[in-house]
Each structure stands twice: as C-alpha cells, then as structure tokens.
C-alpha cells in the first residue's frame, strides 16, 4: 500500500481508536493521525456510570489502549485537539488553532453529546451541581458529589439514568428518578423488562416516578441547584441533579461539509459516507439495516467497533461489510442485562426463566420470528439468542417458555443453521 497517504481520524472514542488500530493492522501503510478534543487518554465510556462512579475502578484502568500502544502502531495521537471544519475540495481538515491538516482518507468518529435539559433555571449554563454524564470529566464531577446521604435527583430513566441510580444507591445516596414516559427504558425495550427494572429499583430504595416531567430547576444565590420542580407541583430538594435524557449525534462538521446527514451521518455497510474518501463510524452515524429493513442509529460500543472494522477493511482493500446484529449490555446492581436485536414492532413477548429469581430471557417475536432478546443474568442463553436473531429464527412461543426444553435444541430446530 502507498505509504505517502494520510488517514486522519476525528474522535478518540471507541470508534475512532478502533478504526485507527484496525487500519494499521489491516495494512494501511501511510500516516495515521488520530485527533480528539478530549484531553484524557482514550477511555472506555460504559464504566463511567457503573464501576468508575462506584469507585471500584480508577481512571487508569479505563484506558482503551496504553499510551505506548499508539507509538508502537505509529498512530499520531493528538489530544485536546478540536477539528473546526472539513475542506473536502482541498482534502484538508482545519483545527481549532487555524492550522490545516491534509488527508487522503478521513474518518468522522465524532460520537455524540448529552442532550441538555431546557427548562427555566438552566439559563446562563447549568448549576455547578447539575451534570449530564457523557465524558470522564462529567463522571469525575459527579463522583465528587454523589456520596452517602446526598439527595440525588436523576432526570431520565434510560440506561444511563438507571445505571447512575444503581451506583448512587450503592454509595448510600438518597435517589429519586424522574421519567416523563409511562415506563422506564420505554425507548429501548418492551413493557415486561421495564416493569422488572422498575420493581428492582424500587426494592433497592429508589423513589422512581414515571409520568413525571421537570418544570424547572430551582437555584440559590450562588447559582447551585437546590431543588427540581415537577409538572405536578412537587418540589424535590436536591444536592445533586443528574440529567440523562439521551444523546445528540455530533454531525455539525459533516453537515457543514455537505455530507449526507439524516439524523446521523449516513453510511453504508463499509462505513463509507456520501463522499468515497470519507468514512464515519459509531454513535454519529445512521445506516440501513438489512436485517430490519429500515434506517437505524445505534448507540453502543459493539456497533462503534463493527463499523470501525468495516471502515478499516474497505480502506485496506479487505472488505468486511458490517451486517452485525445490534447488541448492548447494561449493569445495574447484581443484574447483567444483555440485549440483542431491536424489539420495536414485536407482536409477542415470551419470558423464559424466572423474574423473581432474576434470571430470565424476554424473547420478542414478530410473526413468529425472534427479532430481539433481552437476557438478564443469562449469558449462555444470550449467545444462542444472538445467533437466533441474526438467523431470523422462528420459534414456538409455548416451547420457548418451557425451560425443560434446552434452548439450544429449540433454536436449532427453528433454524437448522444454529445447530
Ligand atoms: C455513561 C455511559 C454508559 C454507557 N454504557 C454503555 C454500555 O454499557 N454498553 C454499550 O454498548 N454502550 C454504552 N454506552 C454507549 C457507548 O459508550 C457509546 O455507544 C460509544 O462510546 C460510542 O463511541 P463513539 O466512538 O462513536 O463516540 P464517543 O465515545 O462519543 O466518542 C467521540 C469522540 O469524538 C470527539 N469529538 C467530537 N467532535 C470532535 C471534533 N470536532 N474534533 C475532535 N474531536 C471530536 C468527542 O470529544 C469524543 O471523545 C454508554 C455511554 C455512556 C455515556
């Protein structure tokens, strides 16, 4: 391969780092420059709401790669370096300090940012004790505030909100969670799992309120948040407020450069954008899923890694199209949740195992086919479930619920390729 070419990667999250290393591994012989606006050595984001917040892992163990690994693979890592613009005609990116950097191929792995709470009390910037959780800097700030006896109000009961709730309870804080929808995790899973997690959190002492909207943030003279005011008139005194109301894809660079952006940077199965010299991977992208027959945007580490590897394959003439089945995990209390597929549009949900014993799978079926599975504390079943979703296996609901029939046999019957 041509060693005069330069691959520039923007973003040092899971997607950007994987893309840079995978490209080198697949044979990219030219320069690789990895640019990231954060100043921390690239790190694992998932533990921020879990082990890192609980204090059971430290910042050093969050590192995606040791700093020596970048040098060893001849990847020029530039931290604290924000890209301001892309000049596609000149094949250059413009950095915040005004300098230009030429590229042969470019990868946008710009991820996302936390959606901000937009209510009275947020004018002039958030209070010092109100945080979203997206970065290591956010997590450090939150960890400094969440302690035994602290009154923590969490806005939003998606994964991040619920994981923070579990961690805060572990730390002995008093926790209230406000969710504007009728159930927790409404955007990502079915009603059975939502009800299960609601009961788990309540049992752990979380004051969980659904159909609860935030009307305003009350602040004191110093500007700190003192309470969250709810739509029904309730006033919840707070020492810390954590906002977990979703993510916005960072697409501004791509949009300004005239790339196709439709709720995310549009990419194909090789992570190529509407410009053949520009790739994109991770949370900032959308793609057409062959499995689901529609456009999807996935916010997960596995998707970031798969797209990054697909991009590296295409870059190095070793195509490796991304047709991976979506999957995700979440750790709350003693529960390891692993999810595969996309459950929306299901017409039946079958539970296999025991909700009481906290060990079960929820199978989501559409027209008899398994389209998604949530596995709680069932890692072996999850591996089979993932294959079943990928194969579009059909399964008999009654048999699925019957734990006397081995899942392996059942799914092998449903789709012989799984046997
Ligand atoms: C608290 C938390 C817990 C999570 N838990 C899980 C989990 O359990 N399982 C799971 O699968 N997923 C989890 N996720 C989601 C997962 O972390 C993301 O899907 C994944 O990190 C996406 O990686 P990415 O590289 O696409 O984007 P990001 O991780 O967002 O990285 C993008 C990077 O690009 C940088 N950047 C953006 N614009 C520019 C620019 N113009 N110039 C330079 N740099 C720029 C950003 O600063 C950032 O560092 C969690 C996320 C959070 C926040």
Q: For 318-342, how does the pLDDT look when each residue is reduced to its tens digit (9 = 90+)?
A: 999 999 999 999 999 999 999 999 9
pLDDT value of position 124: 86
Determine the residue of 8, 12, 13, 303 to mutate for testing ligand 1's pocket, defined as the one with the most ligand atoms within 8 A of the Cβ atom.
Answer: 13
Q: Average pLDDT in the 202-212 region?
A: 98
pLDDT value of position 413: 58
Q: Average pLDDT in the 37-64 region?
A: 96
- The closest residue, in CA terms, to atom 4 on ligand 1 is 46
Domains 116-245 and 334-418 share a fold: no
Each as own residue / partner, the long-range contacts of residues 356-362 (CB below 8 Å, 24 or more positions apart, any chain) are 358/200, 358/334, 361/385, 362/189, 362/190, 362/192, 362/193
Binding site membership of 167 for ligand 1 (Cβ less than 6 Å): no
Each as own residue / partner, the long-range contacts of residues 87-95 (CB below 8 Å, 24 or more positions apart, any chain) are 87/257, 88/257, 88/258, 88/275, 88/277, 88/278, 91/277, 93/8, 93/10, 93/35, 95/35
Binding site membership of 13 for ligand 1 (Cβ less than 6 Å): yes
pLDDT value of position 414: 62
Chain segment 226-257, per-residue pLDDT in tens: 999 999 999 999 999 999 999 999 999 999 99
Binding site membership of 300 for ligand 1 (Cβ less than 6 Å): yes
Q: How many residues does the chain have?
A: 419
Q: What strands, in cross-sheet order, belong to the sheet with 130-132? A: 130-132, 240-243, 151-155, 174-178, 207-209
pLDDT value of position 392: 87
pLDDT value of position 415: 60
Q: Average pLDDT in the 191-198 region?
A: 96
pLDDT for 344 beyond 90? no
pLDDT value of position 408: 85
- Per the prediction, the chain carries an average pLDDT of 95
Binding site membership of 49 for ligand 1 (Cβ less than 6 Å): yes
Task: Pick the atom of ligand 1 nearest to 299's CA.
Answer: 19
> Chain centroid to CA 52: how far?
16
pLDDT for 419 beyond 50? no
Chain segment 147-184, per-residue pLDDT in tens: 999 999 999 999 999 999 999 999 999 999 999 999 99
Domain ranges of the chain: 6-113+249-315, 116-245, 334-418
pLDDT for 201 beyond 70? yes
**φ and ψ of 66, to 5 deg:** -70, 150
pLDDT value of position 233: 96
Binding site membership of 301 for ligand 1 (Cβ less than 6 Å): yes
Percent of the chain's residues with pLDDT above 70: 98
Chain segment 272-329, per-residue pLDDT in tens: 999 999 999 999 999 999 888 899 999 999 999 999 999 999 999 999 999 999 999 9
Chain segment 3-12, per-residue pLDDT in tens: 889 999 999 9
CA of 301 to the centre of ligand 1 (A): 8
CATH number attached to the domain at 116-245: 3.50.50.60
pLDDT band at 388 (very low <50, low <70, confident <90, very high): very high
Binding site membership of 11 for ligand 1 (Cβ less than 6 Å): yes
Domain 6-113+249-315 has CATH 3.40.630.10: no
CATH number attached to the domain at 334-418: 3.30.390.30
pLDDT value of position 27: 97
Do 321 and 270 meet the contact criterion of CB atoms below 8 Å apart? yes
- Which residue do the tokens 């950095």 mark? 95
pLDDT band at 360 (very low <50, low <70, confident <90, very high): very high
Give first-to-last CA distance, the chain, whole Å. Answer: 41
Sign of CA dihedral 131, 136, 137, 141: positive
């Amino acid at each position: 391969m041509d060693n005069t070419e330069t691959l520039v990667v923007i973003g040092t999250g899971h997607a950007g780092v994987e893309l840079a290393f995978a490209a080198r591994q697949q044979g990219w012989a030219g320069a690789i420059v990895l640019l990231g606006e954060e100043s921390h050595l690239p790190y694992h984001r998932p533990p921020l709401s879990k082990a890192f917040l609980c204090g059971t892992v430290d910042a050093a163990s969050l590192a995606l790669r040791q700093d020596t690994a970048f040098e060893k693979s001849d990847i020029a890592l530039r931290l604290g370096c924000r890209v301001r613009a892309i000049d596609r005609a000149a094949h250059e990116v413009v950095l915040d300090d005004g300098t230009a950097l030429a590229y042969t191929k470019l990868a946008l792995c710009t991820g996302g940012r936390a959606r901000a709470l937009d209510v009275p009390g947020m004018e002039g910037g958030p209070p010092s004790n109100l945080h979203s959780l997206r970065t290591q800097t956010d997590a450090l700030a939150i960890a400094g505030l969440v302690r035994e006896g602290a009154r923590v109000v969490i806005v939003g009961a998606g994964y991040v909100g619920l994981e923070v709730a579990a961690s805060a309870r572990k730390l002995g804080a008093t926790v209230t969670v406000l969710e504007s929808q009728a159930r927790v995790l409404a955007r990502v899973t079915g009603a059975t799992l939502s009800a299960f997690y609601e009961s788990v959190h309540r049992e752990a002492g979380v004051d969980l309120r659904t159909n609860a909207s935030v009307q305003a943030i009350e602040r004191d003279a110093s500007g700190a948040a003192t309470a969250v005011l709810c739509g029904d008139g309730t006033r919840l005194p707070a020492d810390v407020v954590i906002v977990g109301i979703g993510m916005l894809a960072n697409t501004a660079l791509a949009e300004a450069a005239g790339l196709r952006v439709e709720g995310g940077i549009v990419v194909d199965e090789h992570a190529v954008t509407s410009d053949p010299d520009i790739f994109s991977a991770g949370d900032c992208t959308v793609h057409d899923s062959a499995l689901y027959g529609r456009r999807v945007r996935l916010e997960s580490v596995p998707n970031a890694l798969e797209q990054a590897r697909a991009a590296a394959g295409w870059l190095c003439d070793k195509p490796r199209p991304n047709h991976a089945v979506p999957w995700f995990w979440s750790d709350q209390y003693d529960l390891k949740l692993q999810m595969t597929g996309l459950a929306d549009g299901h017409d039946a949900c079958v539970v296999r195992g025991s909700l009481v014993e906290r060990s079960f799978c929820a199978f989501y079926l559409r027209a008899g086919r398994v389209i998604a599975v949530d596995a709680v504390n069932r890692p072996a079943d999850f591996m089979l479930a993932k294959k079943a979703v990928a194969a579009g296996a059909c399964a008999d609901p009654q048999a699925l619920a019957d734990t006397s029939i081995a899942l392996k046999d059942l799914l092998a019957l449903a789709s012989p390729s799984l046997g």
